[in-house]
Amino acid sequence: MGPTACVNTCSAADRLYLAMDVQRGVQPNCYDCVMRTIELALLTLLSSGLLAAQNAMPKNAAAAPEVFLVGSVHNMHFEERYHYSLIDLQVEVWSLHPDVVCGEITPEAYNGPMEGNFPPEAAMLAEMAPGWGVRFIPADWRVSFAQMDRATRQLSEDKKKSAELDAEEKKATDFFDVFSGLSLYDATNSSAEFLAMVDHKFEDAIGENTAADIAYGAWHERNRKIVENCLTEAREARRIVFVFGNAHLPQLRRQLAARGLTAQIPPRAFTPAGLGAVPPAVIARWQRNLKNLEGIADGTVAVSADDRAKAKDTNRAPVLRKEIEIYLARQTTCDGPGAGCSEGPIR
């Protein structure tokens, strides 16, 4: 490389010193100059690459939401002896300050004729959540009755498996029958023994994609869909609370873990307050649901043949009628706050 060419490859500062060397008749040292030029070029390329990578990343990468699992006990919320009433459930959910509550109603049944075929606490939370500034998401999923019926008949032919599952059902019945603690919430949600018992039933005794699994409502797929439905509709929510029957808790936790989310089962936040009284709007919603179930039964409310078969199989109407009567009677005796007469955290 000639002196002039060498000088022209260098930075302005290096060119000044090299030009002085040329004027003095000294051969310019191009090596240091060229190496500094290469280093500068590499640093420029590296900086450009890092900047491009940063620009390619989401501007506001959202942190994972906090997820809580609250197990409900369906009809047992209406029994004083379990010390886990609907009022207590309200307090437990409200204490978690949720952005959304994902509850045990399918999107198709929500606010429709089949809503009464789902747990009464789900309809209660759906009615009350807006008053808390909380969004309720109907997140349940159900397999068709036709599939369940076929699987049930197939399971009944397997005498050994049927006997095994009958024994598992008896364990659960005995567990609730002998309960005498401070609150059923502690004995279910906060009990590793209880959660292991129900997990063994569905994971080991029933299994996945078996006739028993479908007979029990396609349990594994149902819980997978519950999580999918909830998270899809929750969108940017930061605090998500699932409220489903307590037997769902191990499977929901497993399905959430598969999506990289660690679900918390919170400790009891309430002091058992008795059955209390629920807002009139909740009773009105239950009454509407009861009327629809009765209409489905007598054919005056139009639903699919599969839904009609489900409603007939569960026969929820007589139970819901008794539950409504319990709270209608309490509306007349509970005029305001007091022992066992609280309407919950939000009036």
- Binning pLDDT at 50, 70 and 90, where does residue 231 land? very high
Longest CA pairwise span in the chain (Å) = 113
**pLDDT tens-digit map of 163-212:** 999 999 999 999 999 999 999 999 999 999 999 999 999 999 999 999 99
**pLDDT tens-digit map of 13-42:** 455 444 545 455 555 555 555 555 555 555
Any idea where the domains of the chain sit in the sequence? Answer: 3-53, 66-333
Query: Phi and psi at residue 77, in whole multiples of 5°?
Result: -65, -20
The per-residue pLDDT of the chain, averaged, comes to 87
- Binning pLDDT at 50, 70 and 90, where does residue 340 land? very low
100-103 vs 135-138, strand pairing mode: parallel
**pLDDT tens-digit map of 285-332:** 999 999 999 999 999 999 999 999 999 999 999 999 999 999 999 986
Nearest to 104 by CA among 336, 284, 316, 344: 316
The answer to whether the beta carbons of residues 116 and 290 sit under 8 Å apart is: yes
